[in-house]
A and B are shown apart, each in its own frame.
Chain A
Amino acid sequence: GAVVSQHPSRVICKSGTSVKIECRSLDFQATTMFWYRQFPKKSLMLMATSNEGSKATYEQGVEKDKFLINHASLTLSTLTVTSAHPEDSSFYICSAVGQGVGQTNEKLFFGSGTQLSVL
């Protein structure tokens, strides 16, 4: 199926610093990518929809100035957590809309996730 690569897989940073997470669609172009956050033993919560060439659409309660999303190309979206604090520690997952191998319908494929720990 379609492959979505996410880096880094794990990052530890000091409180107040910024962290950038990359999400790449490796073998397909993704005009739309999604960013999720998952706390331990909780479900995935959609943070924002990233659209290539335009501003991201944020879900209610998500601070757009804190979670900066850039989707500058059809294969790359980045999420920057600015001035990170311990409460931002979480598992962040990106996803992209693509086609599975041998299929014509589009589905959502997920990256492997990034565990962010803010000290």
Chain B
Amino acid sequence: ELKVEQNPLFLSMQEGKNYTIYCNYSTTSDRLYWYRQDPGKSLESLFVLLSNGAVKQEGRLMASLDTKARLSTLHITAAVHDLSATYFCAVDMRSGGSNYKLTFGKGTLLTVNP
């Protein structure tokens, strides 16, 4: 069974600082997603990473994928308060039948303090 582990689960950081969230997964997968969720809201897709070495950037967020290490990172540069949210990674792979299945990490609650 695929396991997806994120760390840290809680992250409190100062505005202007940099930090990285890590996502480890236990078996090979077809693609990896990063989502953002604001309190009481749905999941917003941030990045889709398809292949080894993939790197994507949007604003102050940059995601990367190392399929050999089964590791993805979400790097936050010069954090601002608006980035406060819960961030999930999710791994997509074919399950026992013919369906693809998304398996989520527990999420990282990020709080950016002024």
Are A and B bound to each other? no
A residues apposed to B, CB below 8 Å: none
Q: Which B residues are within 8 Å of any A CB, using their own CB?
A: none
